[in-house]
Amino acid sequence: MVKKKYIHQDLLVSASMLSIGIIFFVGSFFIPRFEEAALNISAFPMIVSLALIIFSLFNVTMGIKKTRELNMKIELGEDVIKEISIERLKYPLICIIFMTAYVILIPTIGFFVSSMVFLFAFIYYLGYRKPFKILAIIIGMEVFIYYLFVVVLNTRLPKGMFF
């Protein structure tokens, strides 16, 4: 009889984050560099992805320890609650779907319109049902973002089919 080995959820998440960090670190080498610049634009993604790799390696080692402890408890016959279940993953996955849709909508309909749609849908999904207060929050956020990024920092935000 083959005993089933379980993997702790921390190991799965940290291994995923480690692979994302490696992908972004390798991708940062494909960003164009300038000889005369003291600090190239590729430095920021390289530093952030390197930090993600370092922290993920720490979390992988902790996840391995937790996996060993989990399997030892199972072998000893202790009652163990399964860490990963569809019920526990449902809400984080819905949030990821919301954010993915937001990122996809930005180049299509523009930053400000997609931000309004995202904020309204997400706030409503989280259980707040007063549309006028939601609208006030959205308008306040949009004005703040516009003033900070467009007026003060003079940054161009992605435009879509609307504005």
61 pLDDT exceeds 60? yes
Q: What is the pLDDT of residue 70?
A: 87
Give yes or no: residues 78 and 96 share one domain.
Answer: no
Q: Are 64 and 9 in contact (CB under 8 A)?
A: no
Could you tell me how many residues make up the chain?
163
Read off the pLDDT of each residue in 141-162 and give the average, rounded to a whole number.
90
| Structural domain total, the chain | 2
Read off the pLDDT of each residue in 4-10 and give the average, rounded to a whole number.
81
Read off the pLDDT of each residue in 17-35 and give the average, rounded to a whole number.
90
3 pLDDT exceeds 90? no
Half-sphere exposure of 21 (CA within 13 A, CB side): 17
Q: What is the pLDDT of residue 68?
A: 93
**How far, in Å, are 1, 104, 115, 129 from residue 91 at the CA level?**
36, 20, 20, 18
Give yes or no: residues 107 and 141 share one domain.
Answer: yes
Question: pTM surpassing 0.95?
Answer: no
How far is the C-alpha of 125 from the C-alpha of 121, rounded, in Å? Answer: 6
Q: Where are the alpha helices (DSSP H) in the chain?
A: 9-27, 43-75, 86-109, 111-125, 131-145
Residue where a domain stops, chosen among 28, 63, 84: 84
Q: Which of 86, 25, 72, 73 is nearest to 50 (CA)?
A: 25
Q: What is the pLDDT of residue 43?
A: 85
- For 91-131, the pLDDT digits (tens) are 888 988 999 999 999 999 999 999 999 999 999 999 988 98
Domain that holds residue 13: 7-84
DSSP 8-state assignment for residue 30: G
Residue where a domain stops, chosen among 29, 52, 84: 84
Read off the pLDDT of each residue in 7-19 and give the average, rounded to a whole number.
90
Determine, yes or no, domain membership for 130: yes
Give yes or no: residues 59 and 120 share one domain.
Answer: no
Determine, yes or no, domain membership for 68: yes
* pLDDT-derived band at 37, boundaries 50, 70, 90: low
